[in-house]
Amino acid sequence: MPETAAQTMPETLPDRMPVRRALLSVFSKEGIVDFARELAALGAEILSTGGTLRALREAGIEAREVSEHTGFPEMLDGRVKTLHPKIHGGLLGRRDLPSHREAMAEHGIEPIDLVCVHLYPFEETVADPSSSRQDIVEKIDIGGPSMLRSAAKNHDAVTVLCDPADYGTVLEELREGGVTRATRRRLAGRAFARTAAYDAAIAAWFASEGEGTGEDILPVRLTLALERQTVLRYGENPHQRAALYRLGGARGGGLGAARVREGGKELSYNNYLDLDGAVGAVADLPAPAAVVVKHTNPCGAAVGPDAAGALERAWEGDPLSAFGSVIALNVPVDAACAEFLTGGGRFVEAVAAPAFEAEAVEILRTRPKWGKSVRLVEIPDLREAGRGLELRRIQGGILAMEPDRATAFQEDLQVQGEVPLPEGREQDLRLAQTLVKHLKSNAVCLVRDGMLVGAGAGQMSRVDSARIAVEKAGERARGAVAGSDAFFPFPDGVLVLAAAGVVAVAQPGGSRRDEEVTRAAAAQGVCMVHTGRRHFRH
C-alpha cells in the first residue's frame, strides 16, 4: 500500500513551507483567478466551492470541488459545504506530531497547506438601507471564519489569506521555495483580526436590533468592530499621528461612511471633529436649517425659508467666527447656497449635507480659492448619524452612553412665575434650548427670529457663559430668548441676560434656588421656562 502525504510528512517543520494543496473560497473574486493560476503553475492542487469554483473553471484552471474531496454533498443552500473533518482535519492536523499524522492517514485526511477565504459581506449588507433582516442574517458567514481560524491556529504549517493584498507576497515566497514562518505568522494574525472584527460587527448589529431603553442598549460585553478607512495627515496637532476608523455592524454610517466628493483637500482630524458637531446639531433642527461650527461649537445656526436663506442667516450669526468654519445643512446644497458661500470674501473648510446639486458642485469647485480647498461631504442618512452608543475613551477604559436624542422641539415647556411667554416666541425658545445642547457646557445661547445670535460655551461658571453670549449678540440680544443647558444656581446669570434685553429664558430647572431665580427674572420682566431636561455636553 503506497504511503500517503500524511504519512510522509516530516516531524520537524522547515522555515519555508511549500503549498501542495490549496483551498480557495472567496466572495469577492478580486485577483483570485490570477492567484489560482500561479498556484497551479507551482504544482498546487486547487480545491474550491460554489462561485469561486465556477470562476476558476471558466478561466481554464483545473480545480476540484470540495464535495468531491470530502465525499459529502454541499447542502442547505450552501450553508454546509466546508464544515467537514476532511477540511478542518486537513487544516488543523499538526505535521510534526506522529499521532496526528497517523490519525489523518487512518481517516484519509489529506493536508491542506493554504486557505484563501474572503467572508460574506456582512458589514456592507448591514450598511445598505435596502437590506432586509433576512438578507443580513444570510450574510453571516460560518464556514469562512471557521476555516480562517483553523488555518491561522496551525500557521506553523498552513498559510492563511483573507486579503488580496497579500497574494503577491505569498506567490513571491512560493517561487523561492515556500512561504516563510514569519509571513505565515503575520498572515495568521491578520486572519484572527479579520474574524474578530467580523464577529464584532455581527454582535454590534444584534445590539442595534435591540436598541431602546434599559439594559439592551448597555450590554454586559461591548464589542466593537473598527476598520481603518484612511490615515490622516496628522491629529489635533502636527506632531500627532491619526487615522479614521469606521464603526461597522450597525445601520446608519454617518461620517464614517460619508461620501467625500472629489476635488478638495483631504479631511483632517479636526475637520472630522467639527463636522461631527455640525451634523449632530443640524440633524436636530427642522428643515431647512444650517449650522456653522468652529472648534466643535456652533457659532451660527438658523432655520430659513430655503437652504440658501438658512445658510445666510446662520453665517450672519457670527461672521467673524464663521470664516474657516465647517457648515452642515439638513437639506441639499443648491446653486444659491454655493453662490452665497463663494461671495463676499467668505471661506469654509468643509460643507456637509444630504446631497449637492450638480450646479452647486460646479460653482464650489471652480471659484478661485475654493475648488482645491473646500471639502464637500455627502451624508444621505444625516438624520440617522447619531444612532448607537456614544463612546469616549478615558485612561484605562471606555465610557458609553446612549445619545442625547431629546430636543426642546418635543419637550413640554412649563412657564414659571407670573411673566408669560411673549407671543410668537415659543419656536425661538425651542430652537435656543435645542442648540444649547450642542454647545460645550456650561452653555448659554441667544436666539432671535429663528437665528442663533450669541453663544457662550465651555465656561467654568454659567454667568460667564451668559456674559459671552450677550457680548457676541451685541444689540441683537434685545428681544432675544435664551437657552441654558442646565439650571441657573444663582440669579446672576439671568440678570446679565435681562440687562441685555433678553425677554425669555429656558432652562431645565431643578435648583434649590429655582424660585429665587424665577422671582429675579420676573422682577426684570423676563419669562422663565422650565423644560425638566438637562443637556450637559462635556
Catalytic residue among 86, 139, 239, 295: 295
- Residue 235 falls inside a structural domain: no
DSSP H or E segment with residue 456: strand 452-456
Does residue 153 carry a catalytic annotation?
yes
**Is the pLDDT reported for residue 214 higher than 60?**
no
Cell numbers placing 72: 459529502
Q: Is residue 30 assigned to a domain?
A: yes
Choosing from 29, 107, 153, 239, the catalytic residue is 153
Closest C-alpha to 223, from 249, 194, 251: 249
Residues 6+ apart with CB under 8 A from 374: 264, 347, 348, 349, 350, 351, 364
The predicted structure's pLDDT at residue 3: 41
Residues 263 and 379 in one domain: yes
Give the whole-angstrom CA distance, residue 260 versus residue 374: 11
In this structure, is residue 398 part of a structural domain?
A: no
- CA diameter of the chain: 107
Same domain, 54 and 143: yes
443 and 334 assigned to the same domain = no
Strand-pair partners of 393: 398
Considering the domain boundaries, does residue 536 fall inside one? Answer: no
423 shares a domain with 296: no
Give the whole-angstrom CA distance, residue 218 versus residue 131.
25
Give me the count of residues in the chain: 538
Which domain CATH number covers 141? 3.40.50.1380
The domain that contains 363 carries what CATH number? Answer: 3.40.140.20
How does pLDDT run across 317-337, given as a tens digit for each residue?
999 999 999 999 999 999 999
Residues 68 and 152 in one domain: yes
Choose between 452 and 398: higher pLDDT: 452
End-to-end Cα separation, the chain, in angstroms: 76
Cell of 273: 471633529
pLDDT at 15: 80
- 333 in a domain, yes or no? yes
Q: Which of 392, 402, 398 is nearest to 221 (CA)?
A: 398
Are 422 and 378 part of one and the same domain?
A: no
Residues 523 and 431 in one domain: yes
Q: pLDDT value at position 251?
A: 55
pTM confidence score: 0.78
Catalytic: 107?
A: no
Encode pLDDT of 13-26 as tens digits: 788 888 888 898 88
Residue range 497-512, pLDDT digits in tens = 999 999 999 999 999 9
pLDDT higher at 384 or 474:
474
Confirm whether 251 is domain-assigned: no
Q: Report the number of distinct structural domains present in the chain.
A: 3
What percentage of the chain carries pLDDT values higher than 70? 91
Distance, in Å, from the CA atom of 418 to the CA atom of 533, rounded to the nearest integer, reads 22
pLDDT tier, 212 (very low <50, low <70, confident <90, very high otherwise): very low
**What digits encode the pLDDT tens for the residues 425-461?**
999 999 999 999 999 999 999 999 999 999 999 999 9
Separation between Cα atoms, residue 470 and residue 459, nearest integer Å: 14
pLDDT at 5: 46
- What confidence score (pLDDT) does residue 82 get? 66
Strand-pairing partners, residue 323, are: none
Among residues 333, 363, 384, the one where a domain terminates is 384
Band of residue 210 on the pLDDT scale cut at 50, 70, 90:
low
Residues 371 and 311 grouped into a single domain: yes
- Give the range of the structural domain holding residue 436, as residue numbers without chain letter: 414-530
135 plus 266 within the same structural domain: no
Round the average pLDDT of the chain to a whole number and report it.
87
The pair phi, psi for residue 32, each rounded to 5°, is -75, -35
Helical (H) or strand (E) element with 483: strand 481-484
Whether 213 has a pLDDT exceeding 70, the answer reads: no
Residues 460 and 358 in one domain: no
Q: Is residue 252 part of a domain?
A: no
- Are 353 and 456 members of one domain? no
Whether residue 280 is found in the same domain as residue 181: no
Q: How many helices (H) and strands (E) does the chain have?
A: 19, 21
pLDDT band at 9 (very low <50, low <70, confident <90, very high): very low
Question: Which of helix, strand or coil describes residue 296?
Answer: coil
Whether 174 is in a domain gets the answer yes
The number of beta carbons lying within 10 Å of the beta carbon of residue 489 is 15
